[in-house]
Chains A and B, each alone.
Chain A
Amino acid sequence: MASWTKIIEVEHIPSMGSRVVHYGEIEIAIFKTRDGSIFAINNECPHKQGKLSEGLVHGTNVTCPMHNWDIDLKNGEALGSDSGCTNIYKSKIENHTVFITL
Chain B
Amino acid sequence: MKEKLIVIGNGMSGLRTIEDLFDIQKDKYDITIFGEEPHLNYNRIMLSYLLSGEKTFEDTIINHQTWYDEHNITLHKGDKVIKINKEDKKVISESGKELPYDKLLIATGSNSFIPHTIGSDLENVIGFRTKLDSDTILDLISKDKTAVVVGGGLLGLEAAYGIAMHGIKTILVHRSGSIMSQQLDRTGGRLLQKNLESYGIEFKLNTTIEKIEGKSKVERVTFTDGQTVESNIVVFATGIVPNTALAKEAGLDTKKGILVNDHLQTSDKNIFAIGECAEHKGNTYGLVAPLYEQAKFCAKKLAEKDSNGYTGSTLSTRLKISGVDLFSAGDYLGDETTEELILLDEKVGVYKKLVIYQDKIIGIVLYGDTADASWYLKLLKEHTDISDLRTKILFGKSALSGDTGHGGDDISAMADDEEICGCNGVTKGCVTKAIKEQDLKTLGDVKQCTKAGASCGSCLGVVEQILVNTLGDEYNDTVEGICDCCDVGHKVIKECIDTNDFDNVYDVFKKLEWKTDDGCIKCRPAINYYLLVKYNDVKYKNDKRSALINDRVFANIQKDGTYSVVPRIWGGLTSPQELKDMADIAVKYDVPTVKFTGGQRLDMLGVKKEQLEPMWKDLNDAGFVSGQAYAKGLRTVKTCVGNQWCRFGTQDSMQMGVDIEKMTWGSWTPHKFKIAVSGCPRNCAEATIKDIGVIAVDSGWEIHIAGNGGIKVRVTDFFTKVETDEELFHYIKAIMQFYREDAYYLERTAHWVERVGLEYVKDALLKDKANLDACAKRFDISQESAQVDPWEQSRKDGFTKEFSPIVIAPENSESFEAKERV
Contact = CB atoms under 8 A, between A and B. Distances in A.
Interface of A: 3, 5-8, 12, 14-24, 27, 34, 48-51, 54-59, 63, 65-66, 68, 70, 102
B806 A8 contact: yes
A44 to B, nearest CB: 9
Given A7-B808, A14-B802, A19-B806, A57 B561 contact: no
Q: Which 9 pairs show the lowest CB-CB distances between chains A and B?
A: A58-B518, A16-B545, A65-B549, A6-B816, A51-B561, A63-B521, A20-B805, A24-B810, A21-B806
Contacts of B817: 6
A7 B559 contact: no
Nearest to A100: B808
Given A56-B521, A63-B520, A22 B806 contact: yes
Contact of B814 (A3, A27, A50): A3
Contacts of B518: 16, 34, 57-59
Nearest to B553: A54
Contacts of B802: 12, 14, 17-19
B808 A23 contact: yes
Interface in B502-522: 516-521
A68 B546 CA distance: 14
B805 A22 contact: yes
A8 B818 contact: yes
Contacts of B517: 34, 58-59
Given A50-B561, A59-B516, A65-B557, A8 B545 contact: no
17 contacts: A3-B813, A6-B818, A7-B808, A14-B545, A15-B545, A16-B518, A17-B545, A24-B809, A54-B557, A56-B525, A57-B545, A58-B519, A58-B524, A59-B517, A63-B520, A65-B557, A68-B521
Most A CB within 10 A of own CB, among B553, B806, B809, B814? B806
Interface in B603-637: 609
A56 B813 contact: no
Contacts of A7: 806, 808, 818
B816 A5 contact: yes
A12 B549 CA distance: 19
Contacts, number: 88
Contacts of A58: 516-521, 524
Contacts of A18: 802
Given A8-B820, A34-B517, A59-B518, A54 B806 contact: no
A5 B817 CA distance: 8
Nearest to A80: B484
A27 B805 CA distance: 9
Given A56-B521, A58-B519, A66-B559, A21 B805 contact: yes
Given A8-B820, A58-B519, A59-B516, A65 B808 contact: no
Contact of A23 (B548, B810, B814): B810
Contacts of A59: 516-518
Interface string B528-549: 0000000000000000011011
Contacts of A6: 816-818
Contacts of B813: 3, 5, 23, 102
B516 A54 contact: no
A28 to B, nearest CB: 9
B587 interface: no
Contacts of B545: 14-17, 56-57
B808 A5 contact: yes
B516 to A, nearest CB: 6
A34 to B, nearest CB: 6
A65 B517 CA distance: 20
Given A50-B561, A54-B561, A59-B516, A65 B548 contact: yes
B671 to A, nearest CB: 17
B822 to A, nearest CB: 11
B711 interface: no
Nearest to B543: A16
